Structure 1
Amino acid sequence: MTNKKNVTIQMVADRAGVSKSTVSRVISDYPDISDKTKKKVYQVMRDLNYYPSAIARSLANKKSKNVGLVLPADDDFFENPFFRDSLRAIAKTASSRGYDTLIAYNGDNETLSVERLVKANKVDGVIMMRSIISDPTIEYLRERKFPFVLIGKSLDYKDVYSVDTNNFEAAKKITEKLVKKGCKKIAFIGGNKESVVTIDRFNGYLECIKDNNLIFDDTLIQKNEFRKCDGYLSIKRILEKNPDLDGLVVTDAIIFSGVLEYIEKMGKGNKNLNLFNIVIGTFGTDNTYNSKLNIVNVDVDYMELGRASCDKIINILEGKEVNEIDIIDYILK
């Protein structure tokens, strides 16, 4: 018997009387290879005690046992509690179910990164870690009928599998909390205006402002990116026009860290700005920040968002029934 360790794909090709590429295509189960040729190649593989590598087997089975994730281009990515915690939960859940996670960095084009994963058969399904309106990546995956789960929700399609938090309700409740604390002039700082989570949280904030007949104008609103520097600049711009601000809703922990830096820098010794009197409502932050600040926090379970999204994509891949939308609870602290 031929020693398995010494058998190569070229030896299989020579014994079967076909090319090396034909053997590879048989292993990958290409439809343009005849059944007769496939039977002959498989028989030679058995005779030579040859077994393709794990990669080749995955190609033959058309299963990679990988779940794809695409990291955003944000400079502050690894400081963001949402991405950090949900990513850890996804990797842990995938491993427990016999899958690995394959991460691609999107640079400036998330869709191209997803295309690379899909076209190269590197992943069986994709988890999208944030949602935007008119998302070209969703368009691409839908056209390809490729399995994916969205953390967030799609405003363009109702049939997208997703895992989300009720961001509209959470933002409305946290703004109401500021109103109950006596705030009359409440500003809003959010991330990218194309981001669905920013849209939902802004609409929740806005409904509370209108319900309570509070002051509202464009000088109280800032929407930039999910970066610390944008939080710093946003609160600076708001306070330049509204020095009497007494309330603030911030939609993201990284943005909040920039707001905090500005308040701590400018609030010390500045008698004209009572910055430490501003009540701040924010999402996913740690209440152990500066004790001088009055902070209300929406505790979003990012670990559960990651776990649930990973379980959902694997259940889809394994043909199990899943809900179209799963809503993860939050806690207002």
Structure 2
Amino acid sequence: MAVQNKDENSLPGSKLTIADIAAELGVSKTTVSRAISGKGRIGKETVRRVMECIEKYNYRPSAIAKGLATSKTYNIGVAFPADTNLSSTPFFQICLLGVCEAAAAMDYDVLVTTVKENDISQLKRIVENHNIDGIILTRDFMNDMATEYLKQKDIPFVLVGSSEDSTIVQVDSNHREACEKLVSLLLADKMSRIALIAGDMRHMVNLSRCEGYINALRSRQISIDTELVFTDCDSQVSIEQAVNSILKHQAECIICTDDVICTRVLSLLREAGAHVPGDIKVASFHDSIYLESNNPPVTAVGMDVKELGCIAGKRLIEMLGGDIDIHKKILDYEIHLRRSTQ
């Protein structure tokens, strides 16, 4: 069928198809697809006619049509860690909002999957079924299987986090520096017995935050008290054991490596009858609405998680367009001093 002039009650341009354009010009659908994608042997005059017709009727090819023409899906993936904390922390949801915002602005859709440290079968499926053009990883493990697999398959990807592998495109906040600064501020406020409760140390982000804690103590020549440092606290039981021991050893302040641990610590302190900040002070190496709205509000390191997602999404789509710059993007942070440490 021929494409009618808009004045002749033609369909809106967004509803036209490659077949309509082909019929209007008397060429094949393959010719129109090749003219749009710039691939294949097509005469300059034919390309000109196709482009003029597209412009005349304000034609916008669908994602499927564009994909057929360019061998792209116009989907990017986001891989979340499949651990128990996923449902209780806003970090990944907020990061996803940022990715979706960037993708929508660049005519891409987002497909979500999950990965485990020793099981990346979900990731493999969407890659090997050609469901995505590239992917964003939201957590990096030591000796990470996901990054090695994606490099092997030559799939473009961006890591929201940090890796020692300089060939990986990374977007992150400066966790080590931010955490060192927060501990230094607390030490300057005449505290010396500052306890630490950290999550899974296989995660690079926890390693970086703990290094910040250690660096701050060492810079003031304060020895690390092993009775006040608890790592791999990734369950209610392990956090409860840590809190009980810290109270027994009369720490002045508890610092948690993330908001999920901190929320649990605050609950356990209330159950134990320990008042914050009167009996013990509390701070977190990652902020959230839960900590900000707690009574009292909790001192924490603030990072723009949505911006992390936005930049990661934009960076990945730029890579899919041919940008090969692999520099690491580091976002700024803020220290939110609140009543929990006053």
Normalization by structure 1: what TM-score?
0.75
1:216 match? 224
Query: Is 1:287 matched up with 2:292?
Result: yes
Q: Offset of 1:237 from its aligned partner?
A: 3.8
**1:191 corresponds to:** 199
Name whichever of 307-316 and 100-109 sits farther off: 100-109
Identity %: 28
Q: Does 1:303 align with 2:306?
A: yes
Report the Cα distance in structure 2 between the residues aligned to 1:54 and 1:82, rounded to whole angstroms.
Answer: 30
Q: What letter is aligned with 1:224?
A: D
Name the CA distance, whole Å, in 1 between partners of 2:115 and 2:77: 12
CA-based RMSD of the aligned residues comes to 2.7
Report what 1:329 is aligned to.
Answer: 332
2:118, 2:145 within 8 Å by CA — same for their partners in 1?
no
Which stretch shows the higher mean deviation, 214-223 or 257-266? 214-223
Q: Distance in 2 between matches of 1:250 and 1:179?
A: 16
- Structure 2 regions of 5+ residues with no counterpart? 2-32, 34-61, 337-342
**Amino acid in the other structure paired with 1:298:** V
- Which of residues 80, 105, 113 in structure 1 aligns to 2:114? 105
Aligned length: 276
Match of 2:180 in 1: 172
Aligned to 1:255: 261
Moved more, 79-88 or 132-141: 79-88
1:117 aligns with 2:104: no
Q: Report deviation, 1:144.
A: 1.3
1: CA distance between counterparts of 2:205 and 2:117?
20
When normalised by structure 2's length, the TM-score is: 0.73
Deviation at 1:234, TM superposition (A): 3.0
Instruction: Report the Cα offset of residue 153 of structure 1.
Output: 1.1
Residue ranges of structure 1 left out of the alignment (5+ in a row): 2-26, 28-52
Aligned residue for 2:301, secondary structure, equals strand
Q: Partners in 2 of 1:199 and 1:89 — Cα distance?
A: 25
Change (3 A) 1:225 1:297: same
Q: Deviations over 1:112-160 (max 9, x none)?
A: 22111111100100100011111011111111111000011112x1111
Distance 1:257 1:220, change over 3 A: same
Closer, same or farther in 2 for the Cα pair 1:151/1:208, shift >3 Å?
same
CA contact (8 A) 1:70 1:114 kept: yes
- Does the 8 A contact of 2:81 with 2:115 survive in 1? yes
Distance 1:231 1:61 in 2: 51
- Corresponding residue for 2:54? none
**AA paired with 1:255?**
I
Alpha-carbon deviations, 1:212-233, whole Å to 9, x = none? 2324232212222556665444
Question: What do residues 136-190 of structure 1 show as CA deviations (whole Å, max 9, x unaligned)?
Answer: 11111111111000011112x1111000111110110010111022211111111
Q: For the residues of structure 2 that align with 1:73 and 1:94, how far apart are their CA atoms?
A: 23
Asked whether the equivalents of residues 232 and 261 of structure 1 are also in contact (C-alpha less than 8 Å), the reply is no
Q: C-alpha separation between the residues in 2 aligned to 1:232 and 1:69?
A: 33
Q: Which amino acid aligns with 2:314?
A: D
Q: What secondary structure sits across from 2:207 in the alignment?
A: helix
C-alpha distance in 2 between matches for 1:206 and 1:310? 33
Question: Is the partner of 1:277 in helix, strand or coil?
Answer: coil
Q: Indicate whether 1:278 and 2:280 are aligned.
A: yes
User: Secondary structure at 2:87's aligned position in 1?
Assistant: helix
For residues 86-105 of structure 1, the aligned pairs below 5 Å read 86-105=95-114
Q: How far did 1:287 drift?
A: 2.6
Following TM superposition, by how much is the alpha carbon of 1:65 offset from its aligned partner in structure 2, in angstroms? 0.7
Equivalent position of 1:41 in the other structure: none
Matched residues in 1 for 2:328 and 2:321: separation? 18
Are 1:318 and 2:327 matched, yes or no? no
In the alignment, what sits opposite 2:73? Answer: 64
